[in-house]
Chains A and B, each alone.
Chain A
Amino acid sequence: DTGVSQDPRHKITKRGQNVTFRCDPISEHNRLYWYRQTLGQGPEFLTYFQNEAQLEKSRLLSDRFSAERPKGSFSTLEIQRTEQGDSAMYLCASSPPWGSYGYTFGSGTRLTVV
């Protein structure tokens, strides 16, 4: 297992378009998290899955954002009708079920909305 994988690494889209990002966590990790990070700031929590259940959503996750983890393995984050303010790094992290000794993050997807 090579860690948490995110695809694509970079995405440039026009304002108003929809985009979807994928995250493949470490296989034995049942917990999965999405974060957003803007330049010069730390990551901001978006949402949390335990297996296929979405247990927490931040108020940052507006109705244009939706996340899924249909089989408790990979996850997708979709942004509809993108806005320039959505430009950021979107990070996925995972952790094992036995409590956290820290999360393993992917390298992120850099979204630029033009």
Chain B
Amino acid sequence: LAKTTQPISMDSYEGQEVNITCSHNNIATNDYITWYQQFPSQGPRFIIQGYKTKVTNEVASLFIPADRKSSTLSLPRVSLSDTAVYYCLVGDVDSNYQLIWGAGTKLIIKP
């Protein structure tokens, strides 16, 4: 089983901020949180990675509370092109490749 739990699907509208929460109650001390985005017929694309507090890049922000048992991916001002599946992974960065991926969150952006 995957170490994470995410909503199966979410809907939002263009221009809105979208927050996708991932639960990882059994996160270990050495574990990082990584998010990927995947469009149909393409491979996943790395979005953001963090260990604690807040990480921001040009695409998204990642909020991690002090207990690290959950995390929230925040996508500002989404557009139709943000419609995709978003995966949350939790694991040691040196062995991330072995992680079990869940089904992700299918995000649908409406006009």
Contact = CB atoms under 8 A, between A and B. Distances in A.
Interface of A: 4, 33, 40-45, 48, 56, 58, 89, 91-93, 99-108, 110
Contacts, number: 58
Contacts of A101: 46, 49, 93
Interface string B83-111: 00001000001101111111110000000
A58 B100 CA distance: 11
Contacts of A4: 43
Given A56-B97, A102-B34, A43 B103 contact: no
Contact of A41 (B47, B49, B94, B103): B103
Contact of B97 (A45, A106, A107, A110): A45
B102 A42 contact: yes
B81 interface: no
B96 A43 contact: no
Interface of B: 2, 34, 36, 41-47, 49, 87, 93-94, 96-104
Contacts of A99: 93-94
Nearest to B36: A102
B101 A33 contact: no
A105 B93 contact: no
A107 B43 contact: yes
A40 B100 CA distance: 14
B84 to A, nearest CB: 13
Contacts of A45: 97-99
Closest 9 CB pairs of A and B: A42-B101, A102-B46, A105-B43, A100-B93, A33-B97, A91-B43, A105-B44, A107-B42, A108-B43
